[in-house]
Amino acid sequence: MTTYYYLNEDKTFRPATMIEWAEQLESLHLTGTYQVADNNLGRYWISTSWLGFNNPLDEEILLFETIIFKKDDANEFHLINQNKYPTYAEAQEGHKDAMAWVINEINGTE
């Protein structure tokens, strides 16, 4: 069963009902505060954000996600990497790692 969480102001979280989670997520999206970080580098888009729900298949609670997309020659984005994290601080570090990976890719291939 999926478990939902509410993101506190101090970036910790607590269990929430699906309604609490949905209302907060809508509010976070409207204010743009659901994202930990968001960057565009060349053809790459790196986004780290709050998900607020845990996949029941995950062995641990993973509520933040970094995704890396790359734009092809037709200007369409394709998912090339995805990682999830249990805490805000780990999500920040994961975003930095994703940025470093993209920079290495750009310097090595573009």
Q: What are the extents of the domains in the chain?
A: 3-109
pLDDT digits (tens, 9 = 90+) for 67-107: 999 999 999 999 999 999 999 999 999 999 999 999 998 88
Question: Which of 22-27's residues contact partners 24+ apart within 8 Å by CB, and which partners?
Answer: 24/52, 25/50, 25/52
Q: What is the pLDDT of residue 57?
A: 83
**Site of tokens 């709050």:** 50
Look up the pTM and report it: 0.90
Q: Where are the alpha helices (DSSP H) in 1-110?
A: 18-31, 88-109
pLDDT digits (tens, 9 = 90+) for 32-41: 899 999 999 9
Q: Produce one character per residue of 46-71: b if its CB has 16 or more CB atoms within 10 Å, e if not.
A: bbbbbbbbbeeeeeebbbbbbbbbbe
Q: Is the pLDDT of residue 109 over 70?
A: no
CA distances in angstroms from 93 to 42, 65, 66, 80, listed in the order given: 21, 11, 10, 19
Q: Which of 12, 35, 25 is closest to 87 using CA atoms? A: 12
